[in-house]
Amino acid sequence: MAAIMVVAGLTVYAISGPTRVFRTTASMVVVGQGSNSVSGHLEYDYAFFNGSNLVALALGADATSDQVFAMQIDCDSSQAQLVVFDKSDSNVTVIATSTSIDTVKQQGVLANFVNSERFVAQFDVESVGNLAGGFLTVAGRLNLDADGCPHTVLIKLDKDKQDTAVGDQDVADTEQDARSKDVDLRVQRAGRAHFVGVLDVISDGGTNTVLVPLGHMTFRKQLKELSPG
């Protein structure tokens, strides 16, 4: 991939809540337009991105150890954002905002309340940092608490035999906090998802369209719960 330009400025999102913010690890294959240096023929330009790459694009600069990729979602699962969450001050920079979320829910055999949901969400990518727009379609599964809010459970309890069939899988943490001593990042999970989409990336003095034919997310430890006002 071409080197990314740095564009100054951050967009800080004012959260209206109530929402929960989950540390999210992500991995994706991205494909841009390239050309053969010898023949000049058009060719695919493949790269591997993780969540920290999305963070850097949204910030227009390298992320600090506190600036991590996350998802915030309300308790009705009616609105969600993919964000950069700054653990030092709880500020967020929005990467993408949901335009629609549809869900189906399930009460497990041993549960006494509806304890999980599957969702498909459409997100518009914001124009922020080195991102100029795009879209993501995310499909996945979330655990729910007795109040119907997404929440974490121990990984050994986060099971659905259909995950493999629908394309959901765990994403290893290869990002800033990969060596964190925070045990909860490794033992808690709120759910998993996969996604496709398009990113419009500012690079080489222009805006280039980058395809995301396949990506995966793991929703891990809850970082914050935010209330209205």
- Which pLDDT band, with edges at 50, 70 and 90, does 228 fall under? low
Q: Give the model confidence (pLDDT) of 102-150 as tens digits.
A: 999 999 888 899 999 999 999 999 999 999 999 999 999 999 999 999 9
pTM, 2 dp = 0.89
Provide the token pair at 199.
């990113």
Q: Give CA–CA dist 200/205, Å, rounded.
A: 13
Does position 20 have pLDDT exceeding 80, yes or no?
Answer: yes
Does position 156 have pLDDT exceeding 70, yes or no?
Answer: yes
Strands (E), 60-151: 67-74, 80-86, 92-106, 116-125, 127-128, 131-143
Q: Give Cα 124 to chain centroid, integer Å.
A: 13
- 212-227: average pLDDT: 93
Q: Give CA–CA dist 131/125, Å, rounded.
A: 8
Outline where 40-162 has alpha helix (H): 51-59
Amino acid at 17: G
Provide the token pair at 54.
């999305």
Cβ atoms 35, 43 nearer than 8 A: yes
Does position 13 have pLDDT exceeding 50, yes or no?
Answer: no
Q: Give the model confidence (pLDDT) of 48-94 as tens digits.
A: 999 999 999 999 999 998 999 999 999 999 999 999 999 999 999 99
- Which pLDDT band, with edges at 50, 70 and 90, does 16 fall under? low
